Amino acid sequence: MLNFLKKIYYTKYVKKSYSISAVDLVIDRIFRNKKKGVYIDIGCNHPIKYNNTYLLHKRGWNGINVDLDKKSIQEFNRLRENDTNIQALISDKAEIMDVYFYHERSAINTVSKNLANYRKKKYKLIKKASITLNSIIKNSNYKKKKIDFLSIDVENHEFNVLKNFNFKKYKIDIIVCENTDLSQNNLETQDINIKKIFKSKLYKLMTDNKYKLINIVNSDLVFCRKKNDKRYRIYN
């Protein structure tokens, strides 16, 4: 009986992670005092499994989920119908792009030729039209709302998603970007070189736009808008 009560007690304080890296627990902790909020998830893939926003969604948040895969978005429409779910390829401008396509529902379909060559897996080359993140927000129901959190996991194309993003207009508090270092033997592991991160074009872009790197969870980089540092005291 005592062990049963202990289990109930500790279960109360243990949160389940849905992210592949458990970075959602970090995000949930940062926003622990914000009951309602807005997120954008670029490269969302699945509404629950390995998802960086599902923990916030369970707490009552909502937002925009974007993925290249049609079936992925169909799944979001079924399981997260209160969100805005969009099938699209996001880049720095609108153009026709090559997509290295492995199969439907694949989490590793990419527009990065370097990453496709690194993986040495068979793919089908297809053409897709891209749009910008600015356009996604501008044409959504969230265009005049405060966006609290942005997650980007698009297989070595994160920099391009943010390259021409309007940071001044959309002052997002926390941004999580996957960092792909093709010099690693194993991607998305703890084998991360912090010096290379500091020299990367993604890091420079974020710091130039007044963001501070506050956490690294495997290959996920957590950036906070500097103006808001005092709001997230757990990192001070």
Q: How far is CA 157 from the centre of its chain?
A: 12
With pLDDT > 70 as the criterion, what percentage of the chain qualifies? 88
Q: Is the pLDDT of residue 236 over 50?
A: no
Distance CA 38, CA 65 (A): 11
pLDDT digits (tens, 9 = 90+) for 138-179: 999 999 999 999 999 999 999 999 999 999 999 999 999 999
Number of CB atoms found within 10 A of residue 76's CB: 25
Residue type, 165: F
Number of CB atoms found within 10 A of residue 196's CB: 13
Which residues, 6+ apart, have CB-to-CB distance to 123 below 8 Å?
100, 101, 102, 116
Q: Is the pLDDT of residue 54 over 80?
A: yes
Listed in sequence order, the DSSP H helices in the chain are: 2-12, 23-30, 54-58, 70-79, 113-119, 133-138, 158-163, 194-199, 201-208
Q: What is the DSSP string of 58-88?
A: HTT-EEEEEES-HHHHHHHHHH-TTSEEEE-
Q: How far is CA 114 from the centre of its chain?
A: 21
Res 90: pLDDT: 98
Residue appearing with tokens 């508090």: 173
CA dihedral 7, 9, 217, 51 (to 10 degrees): 80
Q: Which domains does the chain have, with CATH numbers?
A: 15-87+132-235 (3.40.50.150)
Per-residue pLDDT band for 183 (boundaries 50, 70, 90) equals confident
pLDDT digits (tens, 9 = 90+) for 63-119: 999 999 999 999 999 999 999 999 999 999 999 999 999 999 898 999 999 999 999
Q: Is the pLDDT of residue 235 over 70?
A: no
pLDDT digits (tens, 9 = 90+) for 117-141: 999 899 999 999 999 999 999 999 9
| Selected residue with higher pLDDT from 5 and 74 | 74
Whole-model pTM above 0.75? yes
Give me the chain's average pLDDT, please: 91
Distance CA 155, CA 69 (A): 14
